[in-house]
Amino acid sequence: MDIDARGPRFAATVTTVVLAAALITRSPWILAWQTMAFALGAVAGVSRSPYGWAFRTAVRPRLAPATEFEPPEPPRFAQAVGLVFAGLGLVGFALGPGWLGLAATGTALAAALLNAAFGYCLGCEMFLLVRRFAVRAG
């Protein structure tokens, strides 16, 4: 079942704020929260992540009915990619080296910002590229 395309963009906006706060403060606790949010989105699906829940319960009821839908698999894959980068950032901030925390968190922040500001989901594009390659190879 397809999802409201506004939900992942809302989640990317919240993610951008959380990752910016983690990057500015270099806080492993803030990044741990975001890592957990990415993990829930990757494992349970984007609509079951904390930001998906917030969109579904607090934001979507106040909006006009959705006119654009998308399959849930690309955003779910994007959550898994975010999980990898946030996990690396968490290791860097908590255990070192610090540059790993900065680089990985900054990369995740850049991807989230692209989605929040321009609607361009890098992880989704990676999913589609991998799927096209798998279809051609298979």
Q: Mean pLDDT, to the nearest integer, of 64-83? A: 96
Span of 41-50, 55-64, 96-105, 128-137 with lowest mean pLDDT: 128-137
Q: Which residue has the tokens 């829940």?
A: 53
> What is the pLDDT at residue 46?
93
Q: Each residue of 17-39: pLDDT tens digit?
A: 999 999 999 999 999 999 999 99
The residue segments making up the domain with residue 35 are 3-137
Q: Mean pLDDT, to the nearest integer, of 111-123? A: 96
> What is the pLDDT at residue 137?
81
Label residue 136 by pLDDT band (50, 70, 90).
Answer: confident
Structural domain count of the chain = 1
Q: How far is CA 16 from CA 49, 99, 107, 130, in A?
A: 15, 20, 11, 25
Q: Each residue of 42-64: pLDDT tens digit?
A: 999 999 999 999 999 999 999 99
Record the tokens describing residue 128, joined without a space. Answer: 């589609």
- pTM value? 0.93
> What is the pLDDT at residue 129?
94
